[in-house]
Structure 1
Amino acid sequence: MFFDNSKYFIFDKEIHSSQGDIIKIFKLANELVDENSLDMWASSLKNNYCEERFLNSLISGTGLTRKEYLENVVFPDPLNSQGAATMSGEFGEILMYDYINFVLKYYITRTRYLDKVNRNMPVPGSDVIGYKIDDINSPNNNDQLLVAEVKTSSTQSSQSKVKERIELAIKHSVKDKVRIGESLNAEKRRLLNRSRNNEAKIVERFQNKTDRPFKMHLFAVIVLDEKYYSDKVVLDAINNQQENSKETNILIIHSKELKKFLRELYRRACLC
């Protein structure tokens, strides 16, 4: 149902800030993706937005073809400025979901985009949440909750703009400590509405940190075109956020022709 794209996340290097932060840099090797894998990746992208079992019923009565429905009702509109920004942002978030699911082996619900009302507007709350638990019947302090703030830059950006996006990701990541409760409640509700009760129990395990402690990992993630990446910009941004960066893991994912790649995946997703 979801395409394992882990082999395309290629570790590039680590860089270190002046205060000792370790920043991991990955390359998304999209130039290595063959046609069949592109189609599977696109189908996986679609499944983040719309459950296949409901798709025919949702289309029924609209007068639209499957392609038209996905293109005009489900996915953000790339010809609309807000829609284009949302498409880019959501692609980056879904990419991070894939990374923590297939590379880091966290459980994720894949429900964030299923109940969208306005396709061109982003979903509020924590961007990405992952869960890791040894035994749901015996919670322990080593259970892990990962919460990531993701910023994506797929269009031409100046170094100052990229720096600003990195700083914003770090600032907003720290806010996840406060807003995670609302986001967990939303995840749990979406699962219960789909009778995925056992999975809802996984989310429930992390709703009371005071009485049932666990490890919480905050991430600030930047997804950007490789043309706009530089070590100096990343380090300058982190040095400007020294207090906030102490609490946050920083991850950079750069990719060749990112905008072209994500637009092509959404185009193919309309044909799946």
Structure 2
Amino acid sequence: MTETPEHIKWLVDTGDRLKTADGKEVEVWEFRHENDEAVLSAWARHFRNHYCLDAEIDFLRCRCSRQNYLTNIKFPCETSKLGPGIRAGDFGEILVSDYLQWILGYWVPRVRWASKVVRDESPKGSDVIGFRFHEKAGEASTKDVLFVFESKTKFSASKINRLQDAINDSAKDHIRIDESLNFIKQKFFEKNEIEQAQKIERFQSPVDMPYKETYGAAAIISNECFNAGELASSDSRKISNSAKSKKFFPHPNGDNLVLLVIKGASMMALVHELYRRAADEA
């Protein structure tokens, strides 16, 4: 595991806990970001490399500048109809990936965002997937863990409960996990990272080689949008297939469901600044 980035120190467990309508505990963390040039620059580099590795950008950018290539081709657009929402969503997924890797200690492949064909769209599949190996490399254990997180953001005023949205999407992860694992493995194979691809393979035969499964739903929310009562109304027993559906079913992995809220000040402004810095400092 690589050295923990400095921006992870801004992610702080407040100690506050909410209870959902079905009695599940929700951890409340706060992202206490600061105007620290060194930390922001390192974070921007880490963030940029999710979309395009610094070692590859000069080949991919052709005749345009690095800044223009990232701003106009790779990063979601700041001013288009869909771009700001996609920026917020990508930011939330990457922050949850960081949480899963450096706070909880999982191996989290970062192949999702660089594989976009359309920059103002969200990638398909499960949002964040992490792996924990109990034994040394190459030896499968029933104590190995697959952790699948769904992430939603709320950085502007809305009546929508984004934690409930994350729970609803998490209920679908058991269906799409095979495709998501295959996608990650394929990306490693395409880069000739065979050892990494083989790590994924260990989790593709749960019947032959059982392992533990944990699911998570995360809401990343600006302080001005944080509503404890709204979040506490979330209920993993009442998952609907659509906003208009009146048919409900319980989360299929409700017993292994982790609920997380990360709040922070002026999060959308932070998102735009991070993308700007990531492009300008490339």
Q: How does 1:38-187 map to 2 (within 5 A)?
A: 38-60=40-62, 63-134=63-134, 135-157=136-158, 160-161=159-160, 163=161, 165-187=162-184
Distance, in Å, in 1 between the alignment partners of 2:262 and 2:234 is 16
Distance verdict in 2 for CA 1:147–1:257, change over 3 Å: same
SS at match of 1:27: strand
How much is the aligned-residue C-alpha RMSD, in angstroms?
1.7
Q: Following TM superposition, by how much is the alpha carbon of 1:215 offset from its aligned partner in structure 2, in angstroms?
A: 0.8
Sequence identity percentage: 29
SS at match of 1:105: coil
Q: Quick one: which amino acid aligns to residue 77 of structure 1?
A: C
Distance, in Å, in 2 between the alignment partners of 1:38 and 1:191 is 29
Q: Quick one: which amino acid aligns to residue 122 of structure 2?
A: P
Residue 259 of structure 2 is aligned to residue 257 of structure 1:
no
Render the CA deviation track for 1:45-83: whole Å, top value 9, x for unaligned: 1000001221101112xx311111110011000101211
- Asked if the contact 2:31/2:264 (under 8 Å) is kept, the reply is yes
Q: Following TM superposition, by how much is the alpha carbon of 1:230 offset from its aligned partner in structure 2, in angstroms?
A: 2.1
Q: How does 1:218-237 map to 2 (within 5 A)?
A: 218-237=215-234
SS at match of 2:171: helix
Q: Following TM superposition, by how much is the alpha carbon of 1:5 offset from its aligned partner in structure 2, in angstroms?
A: 2.7
- Asked if the contact 2:21/2:234 (under 8 Å) is kept, the reply is no
- Asked if the contact 2:28/2:260 (under 8 Å) is kept, the reply is yes
SS at match of 2:56: helix
Q: Quick one: which amino acid aligns to residue 85 of structure 1?
A: G
Q: Following TM superposition, by how much is the alpha carbon of 1:18 offset from its aligned partner in structure 2, in angstroms?
A: 4.7
Which has the larger share of helix? 1
Distance verdict in 2 for CA 1:42–1:78, change over 3 Å: same
- Asked if the contact 1:4/1:102 (under 8 Å) is kept, the reply is no
Distance verdict in 2 for CA 1:14–1:233, change over 3 Å: same
SS at match of 1:138: coil
- Asked if the contact 1:167/1:240 (under 8 Å) is kept, the reply is no
Render the CA deviation track for 1:98-140: whole Å, top value 9, x for unaligned: 1111111111111111221111111000000001103232111
After superposing on structure 2, the runs of 4+ consecutive aligned residues of structure 1 that deviate more than 6 Å are none
Render the CA deviation track for 1:204-228: whole Å, top value 9, x for unaligned: 1111111111111100110110111
In structure 1, stretches of 5+ residues that fail to align are none
SS at match of 1:56: helix
Distance, in Å, in 2 between the alignment partners of 1:113 and 1:6 is 20
SS at match of 1:96: helix
In structure 2, stretches of 5+ residues that fail to align are 240-249
Render the CA deviation track for 1:164-218: whole Å, top value 9, x for unaligned: x222211110110110000000000001111111111111111111111111110
Distance, in Å, in 2 between the alignment partners of 1:240 and 1:177 is 16
SS at match of 1:211: coil
SS at match of 1:71: helix
- Asked if the contact 1:136/1:201 (under 8 Å) is kept, the reply is no
Match of 2:17 in 1: 14
Distance, in Å, in 2 between the alignment partners of 1:4 and 1:99 is 13
TM-score (ref. length: structure 2):
0.89
Aligned length: 265
SS at match of 1:5: helix
- Asked if the contact 2:18/2:27 (under 8 Å) is kept, the reply is yes
Distance verdict in 2 for CA 1:228–1:34, change over 3 Å: same
Moved more, 240-249 or 121-130: 240-249
Distance, in Å, in 2 between the alignment partners of 1:29 and 1:238 is 28
Distance, in Å, in 2 between the alignment partners of 1:19 and 1:156 is 26
